[in-house]
Amino acid sequence: MSDGPSIEKQAAEFAARYKAVRDQIGRVIVGHDDIVHGVLTCLFVGGHCLLEGVPGLGKTLLVRTLAETLNLQFSRIQFTPDLMPADILGTNMVVENPDGRRSFEFQKGPIFTQICLADEINRATPKTQSAMLETMQEKKVSIAGKVFPMEPPFFVMATQNPLEQEGTYPLPEAQLDRFFFKLIVGYSSREELSTIIDRTTRGVDVKPERVMDGREIVKWQQLVREVIIAPHVQDYIVRLTLATHPGGKLAQPITDQYLRWGASPRGAQTVALASKVRALLGGRYNVSFEDVRRVYLPAMRHRVILNFEAQAEGVDTDHVLAEILKKVSEKGEDAKVA
């Protein structure tokens, strides 16, 4: 680990470079500050991001703008009901050699990139959705006994429409758990909508500048992992995770009432890494309780499963998690809080 003055200098440089990327995105994307911050957090920890919202809110535009801001390979996969796994991963093709002999050669699919936009991912069937599981987790593709690694940094950003919309398939729980954050994209405010109209109806085409490449992103990803989490803060993350487990020792009353399954260990890892990014942006090299609270919802909302009672009463995961966040103490009491 670096010495003190160097640490402070690196933290300040990270915040400045982070702001440079954020400013370029802001030239195109109006508002949605929390969404942009969540996307960049995923980028700088090496995690994948899931954006959910109704069509027309700028989810795809945000991903495209990020790709234009970074000097990385970019590809887009439009998910449709007839999309097959081979359309994503690639397949072995018969090719003829110069000497006339034929052999199989692997033709890489669009997943072989650095930033992959999986657009409307829940429009495809679960079989096709699951084709991305190994790639997202292991950053490689296994085809016909051969392994093809992805070029770092590898980053999947998926958009999905609310499950209530026609023609959608819910993502398998195993794939949901591979996403670092799930971000809910809402409607723009009155002022933001007015700015959007001004920018898009006057014939002015604003393009962001490329301000960062893959090598620099990997460097910042390594720096994030060096940030310190004190034992009492780490224990807070652990207890917040265990508080989502129905019937567990640290489960809260609302957990037992509305949750069927709690968060996996990957949820705790996500909270810890995202908190480190928050710390660096605050000019600190150690994680605070507030850093943890700020990232808890996007890290956990897709990792807990509601039971029938919650669905019948119209309770969502954000409500349950917000209550857990209120009830779990920073001091480490083990008893349930009424």
Q: Which domains does the chain have, with CATH numbers?
A: 1-86+113-201+210-226 (3.40.50.300), 227-338 (1.10.8.80)
How many angstroms from the chain centroid is the CA of residue 206? Answer: 26
- In which residue are the tokens 């009491």 written? 333
Query: ∠ CA(111), CA(115), CA(121), 5° rounding?
Result: 60
Q: Phi and psi (nearest 5°) for 213?
A: -115, 180
- Phi/psi for 83 (5° steps) reads -70, 135
Residue-level pLDDT, tens digit, the chain, 338 residues: 445 557 778 888 999 999 999 999 988 888 788 899 999 999 999 999 999 887 777 788 888 888 889 988 889 999 988 888 888 888 877 777 777 777 777 788 899 999 999 988 888 888 888 888 888 888 888 887 788 888 889 999 998 887 655 667 778 788 888 899 999 888 878 887 887 787 777 767 778 889 999 899 999 999 999 999 999 999 999 999 999 999 989 989 999 999 999 999 999 999 999 999 999 998 888 999 999 999 999 999 999 999 999 989 989 999 999 999 999 987 766 544 43
Q: Give strand pairing partners of 141.
A: 148
- Alpha-carbon distance of 214 to 41, in angstroms, equals 15
CA distance 223 to 8: 12
Interacting residues of 251 by C-beta distance below 8 A, sequence separation 6+: 242, 243, 244, 245, 262, 336
Around Cβ 116, how many Cβ atoms within 10 Å? 27
Strands (E), 120-240: 140-143, 146-149, 155-160, 179-184, 212-213
Render 27-96 in DSSP notation, one character per residue.
TT--S-HHHHHHHHHHHHHT-EEEEE--TTSSHHHHHHHHHHHEES-EEEEE--TT--HHHHHEEEEEEE
**What's residue 167's pLDDT?**
65
Count of positions (residues) in the chain = 338
**For the CA atoms of the chain, what is the radius of gyration?**
21
